[in-house]
Structures are given as C-alpha cells and as structure tokens.
Amino acid sequence: MEKKVLFTIFGGTGDLAQRKLYPSLFRLYKKGDLKEDFAVIGTARRPWSDDHYREVVMGTIEDLIESKEQAETFASHFYYQSHDVTDTTHYDSLKELADSLDQKYQLEGNQLFYLAMSPNFFGTIVSHLKSQGMLETEGYHRVVIEKPFGSDYASAKQLNEEINQVFSEQEIYRIDHYLGKEMIQNISAIRFANNIFESQWNNRYIDNVQINIAEDLGVEERGGYYDKSGALKDMVQNHILQILSLLAMEPPVAFSEKELRTEKIKALNAIRIYSEEEVKTNFVRGQYAHGQLEDQQFAGYREEMNVAEDSATETFVAGKFLIDNFRWSGVPFYVRTGKRLTEKGTRINIVFKQVPVNVFKKDVTDCESKKKLAPNVLTIYIQPTEGFSLSLNGKEIGQGFDTLPVKLDYRNSTEIVENTPEAYEKLLLDALNGDGTNFTHWDEVAQSWRIVDVIRHAWDKETPDFPNYSAGTMGPKAAYDLLAADGFEWIWKP
C-alpha cells in the first residue's frame, strides 16, 4: 500500500537522524514503500538551508544509492526548518510549511512526528503541536518517540500524561529498536512454532536463562548523556526487559499486537520487585578501567570525553531476575550488559536441566565434571551473527562410552544478514502501517521503570568501588560469583 505521509523530524540534524532515519527512509523509498508522495521536514536549532539539508541527507545514503539522480530525487523531498521548540511562533511557520507540503505532495493530511532529540522537550513539543493547530489535518497523526522515555517511573509517568493530552495510546509509537531486530522477532517463532521447545519452556525443564548484550565499544562521543544514564537505564530498563518479556510471556492466543501486548505486560508484572537488600545480592554493577585487548589499549571510562573524573556511573550490569508465576517460579533469568567488553554480541542462552540420573557416570569416584553432563543449551544469536544453536550430548566415537557435547548450529548467511532490513527501517514501516506490535506500550514502560527504580535507589545509597573491571574483559568478578552462588556459570565465555 502506498504511504502518503509528511514526516516531521525533531532533531533533524542529529546523529540518530543521520545514522538511522535517513538511510532507513531511503531503503523504504528504494523498495517502493515510499513513492513520490511523501515529504520530510527536518527541524533543529541550526540555521540550515534546504540545500544544505539535502546535501547532508544525500551524504547519509551514499552507500545505498543506484545513481546520483535517484539520490537527488529522494533528497528533493526533504525540507529544513530552523526551530526553537519552546517558541510557539516557530510552530506557526512549521504549520505553514506542513500545509504547503501536504498540498504539493497530496499527502491527505497524514502526519508522522518523530521526536529524536533531548527527551526534556518531548512534552513541550507535543503540547505546541496541538496548541498551534498542527494536528487539525484530515489524516492520521502519529508520534514516534525515541528512548529514554523518562528517567524513572515518576518522570516517565509525567511525560506520558503530557503526551496523552495530545495523542492517544494508539497514536504513540515508543521506539525500542531491539524490537525491530530480526532475531528478536524470531524469539516468538522459535517458541510458538516449535513444539519441541514450547513443551519444555518452563521451570520443569529449564534451569536458567541468560541474556547477554555485550558491546566492545566504549561510550564514544556520548559521555554527556551516558554519564547521567548508566547501563541500568540505558540497556536494562528497555532492551533487556523487553527481551525478557518475549522469552517469558505465555503464548498469545493470536499473533496480534493486542494479544502480544497483553502477554508481555503479564510477564513484566510477574517479575519480582526486589527490596534494597535483595538488590545487593542479585545485582552487580561495574565500570571499566583502562585496559588492553590484544595490541589495543583502551582508556578507562573516567578518562572518556564528557565523563566526570570521579564518575560513579556504571558501564556494566549483571543481575538475576526472578519471575513469580507458575511457569517460571525458581528459574533465574540472568542478564549481563556492558560497554568495553571483550566483544560485541547479543545472545540468549536457554539452559535446560540435567536428565534426572546420569547413567553414564561410572562410579562414585568420578570427578565432579564426569558426574554431570554438559547442559543442553539453546542459543539464540541476535547479533552480530544471527541464528540458533542447540547443544546436545552424544557418544564420543570409539570404544568405551564417554559422552561428548555436540552442537547443531544454524546461522543466517552473511548475504542474508546484509540484506535484512535494518531495525529502524522495519519500525518506520510498522509506524506507517499503524502497527504498534513492535513498540512499547505505556504499561510495559511503567512496569520496567518500577523494576529498575528499586535497583537504582539501592545503588544510589552507596558509593561503588569503581572502576572494577578492565576494558576488554567481560566485567567484574562479582558477575561470575553471582551465577556461581547458584551453581551455574555464564555459558557465553568470549
């Protein structure tokens, strides 16, 4: 279906717009999801001209274009308006431009606003959109909101109320770009299209679940934002809890936005909210020190640009979530995420329980490792490689009878991975289609903040002994002790 629409991007000169949004819009254009009847208004403070803006846009799609002419035609749909988001008169000129583009491109009044800038202004922007009459056009009005959605439950609630004065829940698309990733969407296929797994997906057969989002990069140029946020708010409140809810939810009665949401919210509601004491035993934080990996040297976090010299911000979190429902009672969901770790990798390990009796154990004098079989593990590789593997135990070839772990391994080919639509491309198309399945509902955001707030509060009461892990390693020792205390270990050992 053709998408007639006017995009207004707040933060049009920013990093996200340039790295993600413009290339994604171009891919949609190349595939014909966007034809010639669309327009984009980029707004930000800088006084750019349309020509300069178009040059910038063309620069962001250089690697994707088939011809210069194609790039120029695409870029001709882009218009720039210098804008102070707090000044109401600026919305009047924005409206004028929007109305004229609506006429010019015959957009039938459809509008998608994209808030890709400092969250401090989200409330102000939406209220001015309404007060200055920008939402009075005939078609649909949707707003896409980048994270962070608030900085704790109270601020998120206030922001939500402000946005709700203007947009209904159905018109709000809160982005969590992990939900646009191919292999995150694949979690539901693995679970609900394979009886072999779904029949085992509970506390009778699963020992523990491990969610890793490791990054090898440091904070790069984002020190200013990151030093106020930290890994807990940057990664756990959103991406990790979203993944956890997809892994833990009950099968939805239908694969629809409404049913999926209902189940995800139920799963999040069943996550135990810890007391401050429990936070101390179940969560670990870390901050990277200077380190070395092979012949590369990395600066410590406190030496990074725009980071306080005595910063107490965590760049690493490991923790254990417990889910108090029939399906998951007693199964720890371990999570681990951090910057400047050994390598980049997002992967999920589902660790199955041991068989009731190890009949291959020879005698009581066997060492500990022989008494236990290697666990069956289903691994879902989210990125950079995409695929699944399943570790089983087989017989070691030859005389005698020793068992040996073997792996069934499937990875999408490099060609497939390269041609998979990028998360932002998929999510933009979903928003254009009015499909909110892969966006986060307010109830999910609210509950995620409630879960994370107690961890934050407990941590804020004590000054951590930072830095406590070297750049290039997989985090502090306490992250290993956390699992060892339960008799487990991290399956992924890069």
- Helices 241-248, 182-192: inter-axial angle, 10-degree rounding: 20
Q: Has 215 been labeled as part of a binding site? A: yes
Q: Residues 77, 239, 290, 457: which is the catalytic one?
A: 239
* Position 425 contacts ligand BG6 (CB under 6 A): no
Closest approach of ligand BG6 to the CB of residue 481, in Å = 26
Nearer to ligand BG6, 102 or 215 (CB): 215
Secondary structure of residue 322 in the 3-state scheme: coil
**Residue whose C-alpha is closest to residue 341's, from 470, 481, 478:** 470
Compute the least distance from the CB of residue 234 to ligand BG6, in Å. Answer: 5
Rounded CA separation 401/362 (Å): 10
Q: Which two tokens stand for residue 221?
A: 């140029």
Residue placing its CB nearer to ligand BG6 in the complex, 41 or 116: 116
Residue (146 or 171) nearer to ligand BG6, CB: 146
Q: Which pair of structure tokens corresponds to residue 453?
A: 């707030």
Is 85 marked as binding a ligand? yes
Whether 84 has a binding-site annotation, put simply, is yes
Residue 54, marked binder: no
Enter the DSSP assignment of 251. Answer: P
Element (H, E) at 246: helix 241-248
Contact indicator for 40, 78 with CB cutoff of 8 Å: yes
- Nearest residue by C-beta to ligand BG6? 234
Q: Classify the C-alpha dihedral 190-195-196-202 as positive or negative.
A: positive
One residue of 33, 171, 207, 215 binding ligand BG6 per CB under 6 A: 215
Cβ of residue 470: shortest distance to ligand BG6, in angstroms? 20
CB of 259 to ligand BG6, least distance (A): 26
Q: Name which of 258 and 344 has its Cβ closer to ligand BG6.
A: 344
Q: Clarify whether 128 is annotated catalytic.
A: no
Long-range contacts of 245-253 (CB under 8 A, 24+ apart): 245/444, 246/184, 246/187, 246/188, 247/187, 247/191, 247/209, 247/211, 247/333, 247/348, 247/350, 248/209, 248/323, 248/327, 248/328, 248/333, 250/327, 251/191, 251/192, 251/198, 252/192
Please state, in angstroms and rounded to a whole number, the distance separating the CA atoms of residues 413 and 395: 30
The annotation status of 177 as a binding-site residue, yes or no, is yes
> Which contiguous run of DSSP H or E holds residue 103?
helix 88-105
Q: Is 234 in the site for ligand BG6 (CB under 6 A)?
A: yes
Mask for 259-298, x = binds ligand BG6 (CB under 6 A): ----------------------------------------
**Maximum Cα–Cα distance for the chain, whole Å?**
85
Question: Does 222 belong to an annotated binding site?
Answer: no
Min. distance of Cβ 214 from ligand BG6 in angstroms?
Answer: 9
Q: Annotation-wise, does 45 bind a ligand?
A: yes
Residue placing its CB nearer to ligand BG6 in the complex, 99 or 152? 152
Is 141 one of the annotated binding-site residues? no
Nearer to ligand BG6, 230 or 375 (CB): 230
The residue type of 101 is L
Q: Which is nearer to ligand BG6, 148 or 300 (CB)?
A: 148
- Would you say the C-alpha torsion 169, 170, 173, 179 has a positive or negative sign? positive
For residues 333-352, which are near ligand BG6 according to CB under 6 A?
346
Cβ atoms of residues 306 and 330 within 8 Å: no
Shortest approach of ligand BG6 to residue 14 CB, angstroms?
Answer: 14
| Residues within window 5-44 making contact with ligand BG6, judged by CB under 6 A | none
Q: How far is the CB of 414 from ligand BG6 (least distance, A)?
A: 18
Query: In angstroms, what is the C-alpha Rg of the chain?
Result: 25
Site residues, ligand BG6 (CB under 6 A): 215, 234, 346
Q: Which residues are annotated as a binding site for NADP(+)?
A: 45, 84-85, 147
Q: Which residues are annotated as a binding site for substrate?
A: 177, 181, 215, 234, 339, 344
Looking at the annotation, which residues are catalytic? Answer: 239
